[in-house]
Amino acid sequence: MEGDKLKYKRVLLKLSGEVLAGTRTFGIDFDAVSKICREILEVARHGIQIAMVVGGGNIFRGAQAVSMGMDRPQADYMGMLATVINALALQDNLERLGLPTRVQTAVVMQEIAEPFIRRRALRHLEKGRVVIFAAGTGSPYFSTDTAASLRAAEIGADCLLKATKVDGIYDKDPMKYDDARKLNFITYLEALSKQLKVMDATAFSLCMENSIPIIVFDILQEGNLKKLLIDGEPIGTLVSSKRGNDGYGCG
């Protein structure tokens, strides 16, 4: 699909730290980062505006630190700094591919990145630049999934893409149960009532209130981002308000 035929013209891509770790258990797998950035470049060339929110669990896990006795706000601030490291790694790779990129942080660190300013972010997107939002919301007690939903609403994203290592949402844990069934579509309310762990309740609620569809998909499967955004294939699981006429759903 090209131009006016594109279903989603501005998207918010949420990348977890786990995805950036690739085959590692800790740190950044630069092969995985390079692969993801090439996928982003491919869809950006078709005129899709791309913003991103990145997690930091591959570098620091706040929940684990809290379980060991660390103060929750302190752990969350450390997690925010980890997301900035990941954002800079993505920016470097994207710009080496020739795609202009800006990092905006919710915690001011002007020597490293721009502060988050909504109107400036919109201007970057309109100019074809990728914008990476780092440091979560800037406040403790909020996940990067919630930050992704918030930023998606603020920039008027047509869709929130939740990039994971699995190919969608299942009715039960596919790693534990052989009979787990993949769901092609689920409503926001079903996701909330089932307490699905793919995103937290605040993130689901923000998207529901602002009618932003969520697509959960496997970013590490080569070509998936293009299939989803350019070819219009029903990749992954759609979370939305109601099922569409095509059997896959609509926002």
Answer yes or no: is 143 a known binding residue.
Answer: yes
Q: Which two tokens stand for residue 143?
A: 């996940």
Answer yes or no: is 170 a known binding residue.
Answer: yes
How many residues in total does the chain contain? 251
Which residue matches tokens 């969350």?
76
Answer yes or no: is 232 a known binding residue.
Answer: no
Phi, psi of 250 (to 5 degrees): -150, 165
DSSP 8-state symbol, 218: E
Answer yes or no: is 248 a known binding residue.
Answer: no
Answer yes or no: is 241 a known binding residue.
Answer: no
Answer yes or no: is 77 a known binding residue.
Answer: no
Answer yes or no: is 76 a known binding residue.
Answer: yes
Answer yes or no: is 243 a known binding residue.
Answer: no
Phi, psi of 179 (to 5 degrees): -95, 15
Answer yes or no: is 56 a known binding residue.
Answer: yes
Can you tell me the distance from the alpha carbon of 220 to that of 20, in angstroms, rounded to the nearest whole number? 10
Can you tell me the distance from the alpha carbon of 87 to that of 119, in angstroms, rounded to the nearest whole number? 20
Can you tell me the distance from the alpha carbon of 147 to that of 142, in angstroms, rounded to the nearest whole number? 7
* C-alpha closest to that of 144 among 78, 220, 216, 56: 56
Classify residue 42 as exposed, middle or buried by CB count within 10 Å of its CB (0-12, 13-18, 19+): middle
Answer yes or no: is 34 a known binding residue.
Answer: no
Answer yes or no: is 231 a known binding residue.
Answer: no
Answer yes or no: is 142 a known binding residue.
Answer: yes
Answer yes or no: is 5 a known binding residue.
Answer: no
| Burial profile 223-249: b = 16 or more Cβ within 10 angstroms, e = fewer | ebbbbbbbeeebbbbbbbeeeeeeebb
Can you tell me the distance from the alpha carbon of 87 to that of 105, in angstroms, rounded to the nearest whole number? 9
Answer yes or no: is 193 a known binding residue.
Answer: no
* C-alpha closest to that of 11 among 47, 38, 65: 47
The annotated binding site for ATP is made up of: 14-17, 57, 61, 164, 170, 173
The annotated binding site for UMP is made up of: 56, 76, 137-144
The annotated binding site is made up of: 14-17, 56-57, 61, 76, 137-144, 164, 170, 173
